[in-house]
Structure 1
């Protein structure tokens, strides 16, 4: 009908990595053209150190009959030709996530608010905690709260809690687990099961002051910059591939309490950006590093 706004086209994202060989971009572009799609945005990077090529393509369909299932099936030949690790994503689908927290709730509150306002393209399937401090906050957003207590030194309770976590992830189709200041060390089994799907926020600019009261340690050393690091969780504690980092400058007169306050804000910003980029399929693993497409 004349004057009617054009219906918005379905948008998808293709992410891939493969050996860096000639013809990859042409192969992908030609495939999308031949299947009735048009490219909206394309980003790529060839790593000279690893010899790997990374690509993120945002595209929409020209013909309404094209489906994601058809694309996934018919792209297999292209993927095999270039030895790709690849996946198609629905750009409009809000990624299901689980947030985990202990007794520091600033990152949890920030993520819940951003998700509720649409600033983060995620659906919070549940909040998991080893304490009940933020049960009321969680439920105020209409999100399920799951209490999984973990007593210090109780291996049986830890194993039970981790089994329940993995069962929850599977039952609700969760694609990302976010440690929003969850202060428990996870076992290697959980880290492996959620490899590339679990993000942690570390309260310093890694590598830096570790252990208890990092801001007090920083204050004692007279630091002028404090920061935070968001990274994927691995079995190596606080050494997983880094997604995002940020720093804030502080003066000589700040107190440890003021450092904590500044640090909270930095942590929230860094974790929110990391979650957003992961949910938008902008982060690709490159060994112990990451490729992050803006």
Structure 2
């Protein structure tokens, strides 16, 4: 059963007295119905974080009018904020190379309506999954990346993202390093799944790095992409226990299951506007 349409407000601001009261009063004075409320005060940095879900039909105006009214409070409290409409599906552009498990999982969840998204296209630097993607009725774009064509290739990818009105770009085991200008153009809009428990084992072949160190736990990390490799704000993580008898191929096999689950959860938190970033960290209201 689908949930009623909601406006989702999320914000952060310097912590002080009266924030919750001011926000709640604005909603209440218009007979708005708050269905979910979360907040967190970070004493270390003096920052306050908040997320509200409000029944859209309980308010006497549309989302644009709500934004206009809320802007007055936001200015008073020096807020960084946004309001989203749950009825507006986010457009997710998926990027993939030659590892299929995360792509398969996202397509399956989308096909089963487990993810309330639109997938306007899939972009890859290999032709491997064209048939699979097009079988799902989704346009597939092959954009090869070589040392000679990198700049033009990433310009093409950014053009495709814009042409398809993408809201978020998901690197579903896309095994290329994005250029800094691309990361800076879409802050908080590019999500990656890295096959290790960051900050350990950044870069290539993390499972082999983990095996060489004899670790007893391996994991996966869903994070926002920044210009610093594998150092963006972390959204979600998980681990699985291994032992001395496991070989690198075993670690890769175990890791694929974690990667799929962690990426799906992290993406869902982002799609539901549950993630707020500040100082290269996230607050995730699950």
Quickly name the TM-score band, shorter chain normalised: over 0.9
Contact 2:13–2:47 (CA<8 Å) still a contact in 1?
Answer: yes
Q: Distance in 2 between matches of 1:9 and 1:144?
A: 31
Q: Deviations over 1:231-272 (max 9, x none)?
A: 111111111111111100113222322211101111111111
Within the candidate set 18, 21, 28, 1:26 is matched to 21
Instruction: Give the unaligned 5+ runs of structure 2.
Output: none
Deviation at 1:213, TM superposition (A): 3.0
Q: Secondary structure at the match of 2:127?
A: coil
What displacement does 1:144 show? 1.1
Q: Does 1:263 align with 2:258?
A: no
Contact 2:203 2:229 in 1 (8 A): no
In the alignment, which residue of structure 1 is the partner of 2:6?
11
Post-superposition CA distance 1:135-164 (Å, at most 9, x none): 11111221111111111x21xx21222112
CA contact (8 A) 1:121 1:280 kept: no
**Aligned position for 1:139:** 134
2:196 corresponds in structure 1 to 204
Q: Secondary structure at the match of 2:25?
A: helix
Counterparts of 1:175-186 in structure 2, within 5 Å, are 175-186=167-178
Deviation at 1:63, TM superposition (A): 4.6
State the alpha-carbon separation in 1 of the partners of residues 67 and 160 from structure 2: 27
Between the aligned partners of 2:49 and 2:109, the Cα distance in structure 1 is 29
Number of residues of Structure 1 aligned to a counterpart in Structure 2: 284
1: CA distance, partners of 2:228 / 2:49? 25
Query: Is the CA contact (8 Å cut-off) linking 2:121 and 2:164 kept in structure 1?
Result: no
The alpha-carbon deviation at position 166 of structure 1 amounts to 1.7
Tell me which residue corresponds to 1:244: 236
TM-score (norm 2): 0.94
Distance 1:131 1:45 in 2: 43
**Greater mean deviation of Cα atoms: 242-251 or 60-69:** 60-69
What's the TM-score, normalizing by structure 1? 0.92
Deviates more, 1:249-258 or 1:238-247: 249-258
Within 5 Å, which residues of 2 pair with 1:93-104? Answer: 93-104=88-99
> Structure 2 residue aligned with 1:112, among 67, 84, 107?
107
Q: 1:210 to 1:81 in 2, by over 3 A?
A: closer
Provide the rounded CA distance (Å) in 1 between the counterparts of 2:144 and 2:57.
51
* Helix, strand or coil at the partner of 1:240: coil
Secondary structure of the residue aligned to 2:254 is helix
Partner of 1:77: 72
Of 119, 128, 138, which residue of structure 2 is paired with 1:124?
119
1:224, distance to aligned residue in structure 2 (A): 1.6
